[in-house]
Amino acid sequence: MIAPSQPQKFRRGWIFLFVRWAAAALILGLLLYLLPLAPLRSALSRVPLTRFLAVLLIYLVALTGGIAKWHTVVNAAGAQLKFAASAECYTSGLFGALFLPSIIGGDVARLAVGISRSPRPAAVITGNVADRFLDVGAQLTLVSLGLILLPGSLPAPLQAPARRVLIAGLLTAVVLFSMVLILSRPLLRGRSIRFRRRLAQLRHAIRSVSRRPNRLLAGWLLGTSVQGTY
């Protein structure tokens, strides 16, 4: 079987790029056609141009920070992605989160693009999971800072339920982690060599992430900054 030549690959790349931009233009056109433009135009006219540009610039900076965070974490797992490819993966995830059902839709779109671009798919999956944990950690950090700086901000009727939810979450995490440690060997017993090979790749990616705590710290700081900006 003859591999496609370089001009054919170049031509296919341009065709794929054209189709993608055409699909984006079609979706934007449908939104402009279906949405009522009069209320949108009226709302935008009340926003000063300088404020609109400032908010847009802040959003783009936060988006760039999110891309840098995801790029740092997945490459810490050994994904070997360039920044442009990481930007494509991250924006694909945003598109999926907007137009696909549930939050998982964004992760599916992000992983689909990342796995197709990376020579190590297991590293992309592991890095994306670690990125999600960093997002949760960033949100918990912001919530904790808010409760520490403003201790009376949470209404009194909600303080006891919030404490119970926090304790239940910690207990659930401990139970799940214990179950993984206890059931790992029985579940792996009798599995095929192909399954074990994929599991070994996943384990290697997890070890690669754990050996780079400085990158995880940088990802957590970027995630906290991005979440705080939003």
Concatenated DSSP letters of 40-55: HHHHHHTS-HHHHHHH
Structural domain contains residue 177:
no
Token readout for 230 is 């939003």
Per-residue pLDDT, 68: 92
CB 110 within 8 A of CB 93: yes
Rg of the Cα trace of the chain?
22
What is the pLDDT confidence band of residue 183, given thresholds at 50, 70 and 90? Answer: low
Helix axes 193-210 and 121-149, enclosed angle (nearest 10) = 40
Number of domains in the chain: 1
Structural domain contains residue 100:
no
3-state DSSP call for residue 16?
helix
Average pLDDT, the chain: 78
Per-residue pLDDT, 1: 44
Give first-to-last CA distance, the chain, whole Å: 51
Greater confidence (104 vs 34) lies with 34
Range of the structural domain that residue 197 is part of: 48-81+121-150+192-230
What are 101-110's contacts with CB under 8 Å, separation 24+?
107/132, 110/70
Structural domain contains residue 174:
no
Judged against a pLDDT cut of 60, whether residue 5 lies above it is answered with no
Structural domain contains residue 12:
no
Q: Looking at residues 39-51, what average pLDDT do you find? A: 84
Q: Where are the beta strands (DSSP E) in the chain?
A: none
The 10 Å CB-count burial string (b at 16+, else e) for 41-73 is eeeeeeeeeeeeeeeeeeeeebbebbbbbbbbb
Strongest mean pLDDT among 71-75, 174-178, 185-189? 71-75
Structural domain contains residue 3:
no
3-state DSSP call for residue 21?
helix
Q: What's the rounded Cα separation, in Å, for the pair 49 and 17?
A: 32
Is residue 229 within a helix (H) or strand (E), and if so which, with residue range?
A: helix 213-229
Q: Which amino acid, residue 209? A: V
Structural domain contains residue 219:
yes
Greater confidence (125 vs 12) lies with 125
Structural domain contains residue 139:
yes
